[in-house]
Amino acid sequence: MLSVLRLRRLVRQVPLQTSFIFLFLLCILSVFLSSYFLFAIKRKLEPSLAAGRSADDLYVTPSRPLPFLSGVGGTLSSDGSRTDPVVLVFVESPYSQLGQEIVAILESARFRYRTEISPGKGDMPTLTDGQRGRFVLIIYENILKYVNMDAWNRELLDRYCIEFGVGMIGFFKANEKSLLSAQLKGFPLFLHSNLGLKDCTVNPKSPLLHVTRAQQVFSGPLPGDNWTVFQSNHSTYEPVLLAKTRSAESTGLMHTSVVQDLGLHDGIQRVLFGHNLSFWLHKLVFVDALSFLTAKRLSLSLERFILVDIDDIFVGKEGTRMKVADVKALVETQNELRRSIPDFTFNLGFSGKFFHAGTDEEDRGDDLLLSYVEEFWWFPHMWSHMQPHRFHNQSVLAEQMMLNRLMFHRVFVLVTSTEEYPHLKPARFRRGFIHRGIRVLPRQTCGLFTHTIFHKDYPGGPQELERIIDGGELFLTVLLNPISIFMTHLSNYGNDRLGLFTFKRLLNFLLTWTHLKLQTLPPLQLADKYFQRFPSDTEPLWQDPCEDKRHKDIWSKEKTCDRFPKLLLIGPQKTGATALYLFLGMHPDLSSNYPSKETFEEIQFFSGHSYHRGIDWYMEYFPLPSNSSSDYYFEKSASYFDSDVAAVRAAALLPRARIITVLSDPVERAFAWYQHQRAHADPAALKYSFHDVITASHNAPVKLQVLQKRCLAPGWYATHLSRWLEHYHHDQVRILVVDGQTLKTDPASVMEKIQTFLGLENQVDYHKTLAFDPKKGFWCQLLDGGKTKCLGKSKGPRYPDKQSQVFLRKYYRDGNIQLSKLLYKMGQVLPGWLREDLLNIR
């Protein structure tokens, strides 16, 4: 207090002129400091290209990443997350190369995704579902589409990312029009484009790394001359990959080609790539970016199982078989691989008839191989190497198997593998399945075939095989598959021993560039591991045998795909699907399935327990096709629409089928189902009012909850229709949405539209075949003599009480909005009831 009083007296003693001079000097100093600060910051934020990192000062300790937000609104799932594990991928077109490569990696890793064309101006896809986020990660094929987005959508997306802790991956695609140097709009980040790079290395202190090992330098030029490097002095940016420029004036400094944004600038974590995915190391870092930005929700474990099959170990013409030295090399290589892959063992497939079928020197190789019989795992082919489907007598087939057993005292038929299910290509879709107790695992090719014998004669030259191994298809197979079974052949282990060369080189590459933990297991245990990891694969997904020539060639010549239906009427229940089924059956060119003893006019193959009976069982419900080209089979199963599995099953077996769904007011549909259940004496429907059913809590009795779900869930039209579009997405014109209300009031016009949709040449005028029955209150089939054939009384639903209507209008409001957007995207007319409902939404 005393010091303050002294200061006040001192100030009073200073002359006024001195005070002005002091203030003037203070202002001059302030201007000088401000100018210096602005100039210095500008220079720091805009480094020149030469301001890279020296090789001696290459690696930096990363700043602490911004933690993902949690607990800020939203609902938590069982794993504590507030977003669905789905990746939103913005592509420039459905056919862009980079977009397809991004999707291929996601599909290989079995990560769920959704692709959208990058919006410039227009609607952003719906990002939330109630209080939950619909996407766990955003990927932009072209990051400039994000940077230059209109302000409304940009703010919407940024707010979503911040609130739900969602990260972003982006690629900068330089072209001849790109500025050589520019600042990324809105970010303290500078880009230098259209560069040639070489000698890439990984920053070992990057927090991004999971699978990637930062140990070696990739020496040599990187593919392409249109690379972009990133520079900034902001603490939010840390390098992941660095490389040198290829220009003559290059100083040897390292420049960042992949950069990580820790989220310190705007609260959103990002990983930006200065090129596409053509460089294999980008694919590896991309997998790590998926893991890091999703807090390891979309992450591949480090555990990898590898099994190498050697098919036809005794089948081969003279000159291609293994000799004594080849067998010794096989055993030595197996022991060498075991140093890094515990208990690694080659799996040998044999046909006993061809033992000792080579030269004397090759026969001695056969003898030596059998002396090592306990060193390997073995599995049988047919004794004579004939394909099993060519046997028309089961006893002869069994006899062939027994000959292998008598000779080798082993027959392995509980587990096998194939590269043909569901199809040979694309390889990333190969799956396992279990059929009649036999477990079938997916098998992969590795660039080695029966004709690839000599290194110098490899198709494309020796460098092509090395490319496949070093970061190419073979490397990616191991990277993206937890279990890899590789198919090789006897001829790959004689002469130049390409099989041994391939897997020794692959192992070295994996150990150099990844942290993967390589293991192996015998086939039985490997099958256990596979189906524990992928339990959904246990049930086979029946494919159309006629869509794949390789499959058609082994299918019975007595069967025909013309017996499959070309039209599915998928429901949902209580919308008028049964009436439409009746009307379709009146057309002379349309034939429905035979009735089922269990489910009447519905087969329910794709949604019911009969699916495991197979396609032969399904085909028996349809007539043998005549010679007429007008045969058009269809089936109606109203349970297909909202089934979780029907769409994927139907698309696999009937990829070219037409799909018709009838959508009526979901409020009306819910009440109609309740009335239907009351008519069938459902205890819950008889005990509880409709309002009690639809408003029941999760603590309600189980039977009440089941009834509630069947009343409400089928009315989530947008959700179920999206599922069908997901599996029939290549041809949206194959799906027709029928207005259930119009079907009731003007069925003839609906049938005219359907006949055009089906492409029927024989057009029927339904005005002449249908008649309105005033007693029933709906349209019926007109018979000879003026009589009508109508559906039963239970097919005429009424609206529920006012209180329930208000509740359901609100309940279905958001879903109906999504349905309108979906139908608009499909190019289909909105049903009248939906237009009316949207007009009433305030």
Position 224: which residue type?
Answer: G
Would the CA dihedral through 124, 126, 132, 135 be positive or negative? negative
Q: Taking the CB of residue 188, how many other CB atoms lie within 10 A of it?
A: 17
C-alpha to C-alpha distance for 441 and 569, rounded to whole angstroms: 34
Structure tokens at 773: 């029955």
Helix (H) or strand (E) holding 235: none
**Nearest Cα residue to 261 out of 235, 285, 283, 280:** 235
Active site residue 296: no
CA angle 224, 228, 234 (to 5 degrees): 155
Q: Is 797 annotated as a binding residue?
A: yes
DSSP 50: T
Q: How far is CA 290 from CA 118, 269, 473, 565, in A?
A: 20, 12, 20, 41
Q: Is 796 annotated as a binding residue?
A: yes
The strand pairing partners of 182, in sequence order, are: 191
- Find all residues with CB under 8 Å of 267, minimum gap 6, and list them: 66, 161, 162
Q: Is the peptide bond before 482 cis (omega within 30 degrees of 0)?
A: no
C-alpha to C-alpha distance for 637 and 599, rounded to whole angstroms: 9
Would the CA dihedral through 231, 232, 237, 238 be positive or negative? positive
**Nearest Cα residue to 375 out of 411, 405, 347, 342:** 347
Q: How far is CA 18 from CA 9, 15, 41, 616, in A?
A: 15, 5, 35, 106
Q: Quick one: CA torsion of 101, 105, 107, 110, rounded to 10 degrees?
A: -170
CA angle 251, 257, 263 (to 5 degrees): 125
Choosing from 283, 353, 574, 744, the catalytic residue is 574
568 backbone dihedrals φ, ψ, rounded to 5°: -115, 125
**Nearest Cα residue to 811 out of 675, 710, 694, 672:** 694
The strand pairing partners of 738, in sequence order, are: 662
359 backbone dihedrals φ, ψ, rounded to 5°: -70, 170
Q: Is 779 annotated as a binding residue?
A: yes
Structure tokens at 630: 């007008």
C-alpha to C-alpha distance for 66 and 33, rounded to whole angstroms: 32
In whole angstroms, what separates CA 800 from the centre of its chain? 41
Q: Could you tell me the end-to-end alpha-carbon distance of the chain, in angstroms, rounded to an integer?
A: 65
DSSP notation for 253-318 = -BEEEEEEE-STTTS--EEEESS-S-SHHHHHHHHHHHHHHTTTTT---SEEEEEEEEE-TT---T
Q: Is the peptide bond before 422 cis (omega within 30 degrees of 0)?
A: yes
Q: Is 798 annotated as a binding residue?
A: yes
C-alpha to C-alpha distance for 306 and 178, rounded to whole angstroms: 44
Residues in the chain: 842
- Find all residues with CB under 8 Å of 396, minimum gap 6, and list them: none
C-alpha to C-alpha distance for 63 and 286, rounded to whole angstroms: 21
Dmax (CA) of the chain:
123
Cβ proximity of 244 and 199 under 8 Å = yes
451 backbone dihedrals φ, ψ, rounded to 5°: -95, -5
Q: Could you list the residues known to form a binding site, using ranges.
A: 779, 795-799
Sequence ranges of the binding site for 3'-phosphoadenylyl sulfate: 779, 795-799
Catalytic residues: 574
